[in-house]
Amino acid sequence: MQSPPRRELMRPLILALSLPLISGCAGIRLTPPILAALDCSRLIPPSYQKPIPSAGLLSITETAGSLASRYDAQTANLDQANGRTSDVIKLAEVCQAQQQAVLRALTPRPWYAVWRR
What gap in Å lies between CA 90 and CA 97, rounded to an integer?
Answer: 11
Looking at residue 23, what is its pLDDT? 61
What would the pLDDT profile of 14-48 be if each residue is shown by its tens digit? 777 776 666 655 555 555 556 666 778 888 888 88
Cα(100)–Cα(82) distance, rounded to whole angstroms? 28
Walking along the chain (117 residues) 10 residues at a time, the average pLDDT comes out as 64 72 57 64 85 81 85 89 89 87 80 71
> 97 vs 4, 76, 110, CA distance in Å?
62, 32, 23
pLDDT for residue 19: 66
For residue 88, which of 52, 41, 37 has the smallest C-alpha distance?
41
pTM, rounded to two decimals = 0.52
